[in-house]
C-alpha cells in the first residue's frame, strides 16, 4: 500500500510536468494547427533562465518566475515572427521541419550560454517532504500540481469566456473565415506562440528545483509532453492534462510492477494501444488530421 502510494506520488510529480508541457503542445495545436517540436527546448530555456535568475542573479523567487515566463514567451514570439511567419507556403510539414530545426538551434544556443554542465537550484519553499501513510511527497510536487490546476482553469476560462480566446479558436477552425469576419489572424498566431512557449517556461521553472537542468533536457521532456498530448487528444485542454498525468503515473507503475528497464516501453506501448483503439486520443474530437 505504502509502495503503491509512493509510485502514485512519483507518477503525479512527473505527470504534472508532462501535463504542463502537453498543455503547451495542445493549445498551440488548437489555435494554429501546428506542432512545435521545439517546445521541449522552451522548457529547457525556462528551467535554465530560472536557475540563472535565482541562483545566479540573486532575484527573489516570484519576480524571477515571472521574468522567466515573460522572457521565454518573448523568445517564442520572436521565433514565430522570424522563422514561422515568413514562410511563403506554410504547409504543415514545412512548418514542423522548421520547428525541428529551431529545436537544434535552441539547444546549441543553450549550450553556449549555460555550458554543458547541469545546474540546480533550491526548492520554492524549503520544507520537509510531506508524509502520507508512509509515502513521501515533495512540497515542490504540490507546487507543481497547484500550478497545473491553475493554468488549466485559466486557459479554460480564456478560451470560453474572453473574446480573444474565442477569436483564437475561430482561427483554428477556419483561417479564411476568421480573416473575413475581421479577426487579426497573424496576431492570434503570435499570441498563441507566446502563450504556448510561456507554458513551456512555467513547466521548466517549476521542475528546476526538483531535477537538474541542462541544455539537453528539453528533447526527452518535449517527447513525453507530446505523447501526453497525443494520449489525451491533441487540441483538447483537459485531454492534455489527463494524458500528461496518465503517462507519468503509468511510467511510475511500470517501474514498480514491471521493471525499470521497461519504464519508457510500458508507457509508449500503452500510447500505441490507445492510438490504435482511439486514434483521436482519449478526449479528442473524432476528426483526425493526417500530415
Residues that bind other proteins (CB under 8 A): 3, 6-7, 9-11, 13-14, 17, 112, 115-120, 122, 129, 136, 138, 207, 210-212, 214, 216-217, 219-221, 251-252, 255-256, 259-261, 263-264
Smaller CB separation from other proteins, 7 or 42? 7
Least distance to other proteins, CB of residue 193, Å = 25
Place of cell 487528444: 233
In whole angstroms, the minimum distance from the beta carbon of 178 to other proteins comes to 39
Give me the phi and psi of 209, to 5 degrees please.
Answer: -75, -25
Please check whether residue 6 is in contact with residue 136, taking contact to mean a CB–CB distance below 8 angstroms.
yes
Cβ-based nearer residue to other proteins, 90 or 256: 256
Closest CB to other proteins among 165 and 225? Answer: 225
Give the residue with the Cβ less far from other proteins, 70 or 216: 216
Q: How far is the CB of 286 from other proteins (least distance, A)?
A: 34
Alpha carbon separation from 149 to 13, 69, 153, 154, 235 (Å, rounded): 13, 17, 6, 8, 18
Distance (Å) of CA 128 to CA 8, 60, 134, 146: 19, 21, 14, 18
Which residue, 121 or 188, has its beta carbon nearer to other proteins? 121
Q: Closest approach of Cβ 132 to other proteins, in Å?
A: 13
Q: Quick one: which H or E segment has residue 95?
A: helix 92-114
- The least distance separating other proteins from the CB of residue 109, rounded to whole angstroms, comes to 12
Judging by DSSP bridges, how do beta strands 135-137 and 130-132 pair with one another? antiparallel
Beta bridge partner(s), residue 131: 136
Name the minimum Å distance from CB 28 to other proteins: 23
By the 8 A CB rule, do 126 and 219 touch?
Answer: no
To other proteins, the closest distance from the beta carbon of 102 in angstroms equals 20
Which residues make Cβ contacts (< 8 Å) with residue 165, sequence separation at least 6? 157, 158, 159
User: For residue 80, with 0-12 CB atoms within 10 Å meaning exposed, 13-18 middle and 19 or more buried, which class applies?
Assistant: buried
Which lies closer to other proteins via its Cβ, residue 203 or residue 241? 203
Q: Is the Cβ–Cβ distance between 139 and 127 less than 8 Å?
A: yes
Q: Rounded to 5 degrees, what are φ and ψ at 129? A: -60, 145
- Residue number, 116 or 290, with CB nearest to other proteins: 116
Amino acid at each position: 500500500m505504502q509502495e503503491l502510494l509512493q509510485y502514485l506520488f512519483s507518477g503525479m510529480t512527473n505527470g504534472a510536468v508532462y501535463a504542463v508541457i502537453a498543455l503547451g503542445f495542445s493549445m498551440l495545436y488548437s489555435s494554429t494547427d501546428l506542432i512545435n517540436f521545439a517546445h521541449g527546448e522552451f522548457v529547457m530555456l525556462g528551467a535554465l533562465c530560472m536557475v540563472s535568475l535565482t541562483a545566479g542573479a540573486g532575484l527573489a523567487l516570484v519576480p524571477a518566475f515571472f521574468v522567466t515566463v515573460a522572457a521565454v514567451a518573448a523568445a517564442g514570439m520572436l521565433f514565430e515572427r522570424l522563422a514561422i511567419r515568413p514562410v511563403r507556403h506554410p504547409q504543415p510539414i514545412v512548418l514542423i521541419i522548421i520547428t525541428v530545426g529551431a529545436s537544434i538551434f535552441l539547444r546549441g544556443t543553450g549550450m553556449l550560454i549555460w555550458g554543458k554542465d547541469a545546474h540546480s537550484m533550491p526548492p520554492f519553499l524549503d520544507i520537509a517532504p510531506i508524509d502520507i501513510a508512509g509515502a513521501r511527497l515533495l512540497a515542490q510536487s504540490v507546487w507543481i500540481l497547484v500550478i497545473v490546476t491553475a493554468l488549466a482553469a485559466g486557459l479554460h476560462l480564456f478560451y470560453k469566456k474572453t473574446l480573444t480566446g474565442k477569436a483564437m479558436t475561430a482561427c483554428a477552425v477556419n483561417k479564411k473565415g476568421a480573416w473575413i469576419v475581421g479577426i487579426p489572424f497573424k496576431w492570434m498566431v503570435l499570441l498563441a506562440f507566446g502563450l504556448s512557449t510561456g507554458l513551456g517556461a512555467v513547466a521548466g521553472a517549476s521542475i528546476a528545483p526538483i531535477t537538474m537542468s541542462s541544455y539537453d533536457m528539453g528533447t526527452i521532456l518535449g517527447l513525453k509532453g507530446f505523447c501526453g498530448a497525443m494520449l489525451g487528444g491533441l487540441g483538447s485542454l483537459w485531454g492534455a492534462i489527463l494524458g500528461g498525468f496518465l503517462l507519468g503515473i503509468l511510467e511510475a507503475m511500470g517501474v514498480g510492477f514491471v521493471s525499470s528497464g521497461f519504464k519508457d516501453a510500458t508507457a509508449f506501448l500503452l500510447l500505441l494501444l490507445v492510438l490504435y483503439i482511439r486514434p483521436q486520443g482519449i478526449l479528442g474530437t473524432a476528426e483526425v488530421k493526417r500530415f
